Amino acid sequence: MSSAAAVIIAILMLAAALAAATVQKLMHATLSFALALVGVAALFFLLGAEFVGLVLVFVYIGAVAVLIVFTILLTRRDVGNDRDANWGGALLAVAVFGGLTWAILKTQSVAIVAPHIRTLTVKRIGEALMTGYVWPLQCVGLLLTAALIGALVLVMEEKR
Amino acid sequence: MINQSIDGFLHPNVSKFVDQIFVNAKQWLISLLSWLPGAPVWVIQVASSLINIFALLFVFLTLFALMSVLERKILGRIQNRYGPNRVGPFGLLQPVADGIKMLIKEDIVPVRADKLVHFLAPILIAAAAILALGIIPYGRNMTPFTIDGGILFFFAVGSTTELAVFMAGWGSNNKFSMLGAMRAIAQMISYELPLIITVLPVVMVVGSLMPDRIVAAQAGYTFGLVPRWFVFTPWGAAAFILFFVSGLVESNRTPFDVPEGESEIVAGHMTEYSGFKYATFFMAEYIGMFAITGLAATLFLGGWHSPFFVLEFIPSYVWFFAKLSALLFVYIWLRGTLPRTRIDQIMNFAWKFILPMSFACLVAAAVWHYAGRGLRGWLWSFVVIAIIYTALSMLLDTRRKFAPRVYRFAE
């Protein structure tokens, strides 16, 4: 049953991703993109990694999609009319696809059979973040704080 | 002799039976299904989910209908008038009349609107609101959707509401809609942060993101009298008030209802919606309100636990809905009492007061934990909250004197 669900989700996800790349209206493209991300989250749910799926919904739909939608407000309304093929983008996409495929084929963990992996609980993620990965976590936190302050400085009104 | 009562209280077996009656009814329905020849496991799983979903929808749509009429009645009482009293006894059938009216109204879609987005926005907003209801424990063994990161699920689903509001504003192709959506998103994003940070102390103290565990951690009574709800600790009380205020903003309720305003931006992002789509927005707003008050009751008010030991014979779901109704009554009460705030006041309040105070709750909860969770921890965390509150209020004091407004008229 779960493999059938995985196939259905994957088809929906790919269709949404294709729509995001090809649809004329920017707003529709963004919403398709958000739908594709929901598909990714659903796949994580199916694999038992609920936390990752939820964070994906939280960050990418609650924040990134809203951010993209706000940037659409800064574009022209008739932006869909003057389009031609963006070969640089296509080249980049093919390169990313090739790189990812190569990386996935090279990894060993694909071969691990699912039942041997312990279920991923929030507690285990928290413990891993607080012990083995505490330095990367702190560095990311520092970077994000710096970015936040930088954004505030950029938009602050200059006092005369 | 099942109905016999001991000292005026129900027999323990009877109260247990009444407490678990819905759980047992569901089990019975599923066992009926499993007698079917060749019913695979997934059919039973799907049936179990469907029963949960229909029960949830039934209860909360009824509550929505009830709330819509009670709100108008209570507001009427506060404003010294009758409120709806024509349809049915005490006007109780008013929601039925409203529903019929909404259903037979013409559904108008603007010509220049983005039809698809305009159509999808109310669906998405209602779906998000209803999904959020799924993780709340309504009684003993009565959580519709048990998941490891339940609290996170609530906020992850809630965060899609912003996208839906934006879709409504953009899809309508109307400047009032767009401006209203911008206001709504601005205040929702600003208050989502304190909303989540005020939940963190509870998650930290319990050590779990599961609503069931959070409710279980609040079982029992100190000195056999005061329930061990988090609202009775200093950090819990502060976090509860902050959570409640943030919840008010998230559900666009009255002191913070700037996304709507007849004299400035009509109905905000709902301006171009009519008929049943408008009703869907309305319903989503109320269901979102139920979800956030339900989460407040779960996190701070002990969920379905009873406030007194002697009253434990009353079924758990009755306590949950009693707490929910009390919180909803406060929502209505505030709506009848407070004037509106301006958007800049809302934003200043969020970033300058609520956010630092919610971090203070986090620190106070940590102090409470490391001082031994007893009376000493209580006092220390109270000191932390009091110091930070005083410092903040001194820092934010604008030295503006408040005096009655003087009106000057042309003579």
Kindly tell me if the per-residue pLDDT of B144 is higher than 50.
yes
Residue-level pLDDT at A1? 56
- Reported as a pLDDT band with limits 50, 70 and 90, residue A156 is confident
Pairing of strands B221-222, B5-6: unpaired
Q: Which two tokens stand for residue B3?
A: 């109905």
Instruction: Using CA coordinates, name the residue in chain A closest to B188.
Output: A62
Q: Which two tokens stand for residue B98?
A: 């409203």
Of B65 and B33, the structure prediction assigns the larger pLDDT to B65
Q: Phi then psi for B139, rounded to 5 degrees?
A: 180, 180
Cα–Cα nearest to B288, from B75, B67, B18, B29: B67
Q: Which of B82-91, B257-266, B294-303, B313-322 has the lowest mean pLDDT?
A: B257-266
Q: Which two tokens stand for residue B220?
A: 């029992």
Instruction: Supply the mean pLDDT for chain A.
Output: 82
- Reported as a pLDDT band with limits 50, 70 and 90, residue B9 is low
Average pLDDT over residues A6-22: 88
Average pLDDT over residues B96-100: 87
- Reported as a pLDDT band with limits 50, 70 and 90, residue B6 is very low
Contacts B189 to A, Cβ<8 Å? 66
- Reported as a pLDDT band with limits 50, 70 and 90, residue A114 is low
Kindly tell me if the per-residue pLDDT of A83 is higher than 80.
no
Average pLDDT over residues B5-26: 69
End-to-end CA distance of chain B: 83
Of B21 and B384, the structure prediction assigns the larger pLDDT to B384
For the stretch B278-328, pLDDT in tens is: 889 888 989 999 999 999 999 998 888 888 777 777 788 888 899 999 999
Nearest CB partner across the interface for A58, out of B116, B147, B156: B156
Instruction: Supply the mean pLDDT for chain B.
Output: 84
What distance lies between CA B315 and its chain's CA centroid?
22
Kindly tell me if the per-residue pLDDT of A62 is higher than 70.
yes
Q: Do A31 and B157 touch (CB under 8 A)?
A: no
* B178 close to B190: Cβ distance less than 8 angstroms: no
- Reported as a pLDDT band with limits 50, 70 and 90, residue B10 is low
Q: Which amino acid is present at B118?
A: H
Domain A2-120, what fold?
Four Helix Bundle (Hemerythrin (Met), subunit A) (1.20.120)
| A2 CB neighbour count, 10 Å cutoff | 11
| A94 CB neighbour count, 10 Å cutoff | 10
Kindly tell me if the per-residue pLDDT of A147 is higher than 90.
yes
- Reported as a pLDDT band with limits 50, 70 and 90, residue A3 is confident
Cα atoms found within 13 Å of the Cα of residue B324, Cβ hemisphere only: 28
DSSP single-letter state for residue B10: E
Average pLDDT over residues B56-76: 90
Cα–Cα nearest to B161, from B200, B203, B195: B195
Return d(Cα B103, Cα B106) in angstroms, integer: 8
- Reported as a pLDDT band with limits 50, 70 and 90, residue A117 is low
Average pLDDT over residues B197-223: 86
Q: Which amino acid is present at A87?
A: W
CB under 8 A, 24+ apart: contacts of A43-47: A43/A6, A43/A9, A43/A10, A43/A13, A46/A2, A46/A5, A46/A6, A46/A9
Residue-level pLDDT at B3? 40
Contacts B156 to A, Cβ<8 Å? 54-55, 57-58, 61-62
Looking only at Cα atoms, what is the longest distance across chain A?
67
Kindly tell me if the per-residue pLDDT of B212 is higher than 60.
yes
The tokens 């339900």 sit on which residue?
B294
Q: Give the start-end residues of each E strand in B320-362.
A: none
- Reported as a pLDDT band with limits 50, 70 and 90, residue B4 is very low
Distance set, CA B20 to CA A101, B145, B220 (Å):
52, 17, 20
Instruction: Using CA coordinates, name the residue in chain A closest to B154.
Output: A54
Return d(Cα B127, Cα B172) in angstroms, integer: 20
| B384 CB neighbour count, 10 Å cutoff | 21
Nearest CB partner across the interface for A62, out of B116, B148, B159: B159
SS3 content of chain A, % helix, strand, coil (to 5): 75, 0, 25
Kindly tell me if the per-residue pLDDT of B97 is higher than 50.
yes
- Reported as a pLDDT band with limits 50, 70 and 90, residue A96 is very high
Residues 6+ apart with CB under 8 A from B91: B69, B73, B83, B84, B85
To which H or E segment does residue B6 belong? strand B5-6
For the stretch A18-30, pLDDT in tens is: 888 888 778 888 8
Of B208 and B331, the structure prediction assigns the larger pLDDT to B331
Residue-level pLDDT at B2? 40
Q: What is the DSSP string of B168-234?
A: HHHHTT-HHHHHHHHHHHHHHHHHHHHHHHHHHHHHHHHT-S-HHHHHHHT-SEETTTEE--GGGSH
Average pLDDT over residues B154-160: 88
Contacts A122 to B, Cβ<8 Å? 148-149, 152, 208-209
A122-130 and A134-155 helices cross at what angle (nearest 10)?
Answer: 90
Residue-level pLDDT at A24? 78
Return d(Cα B289, Cα B325) in angstroms, integer: 11
For the stretch B347-384, pLDDT in tens is: 888 888 898 999 998 998 888 888 887 788 888 888 88
DSSP single-letter state for residue B266: B
Residue-level pLDDT at A160? 58
User: What is the percent of chain B where pLDDT is above 70?
Assistant: 96
Distance set, CA B324 to CA A76, A133, B128, B331, B368 (Å):
47, 41, 20, 11, 27
End-to-end CA distance of chain A: 67
Q: Do A27 and B170 touch (CB under 8 A)?
A: yes
Kindly tell me if the per-residue pLDDT of B89 is higher than 90.
no
| B192 CB neighbour count, 10 Å cutoff | 22
Chain A to chain B Cβ contacts (< 8 Å):
61
Residue-level pLDDT at A82? 55
Q: Do B152 and A121 touch (CB under 8 A)?
A: no
Residue-level pLDDT at B244? 92
Q: Do A122 and B148 touch (CB under 8 A)?
A: yes
CB under 8 A, 24+ apart: contacts of B259-264: B259/B180, B259/B181, B259/B183, B259/B184, B259/B187, B260/B180, B261/B340
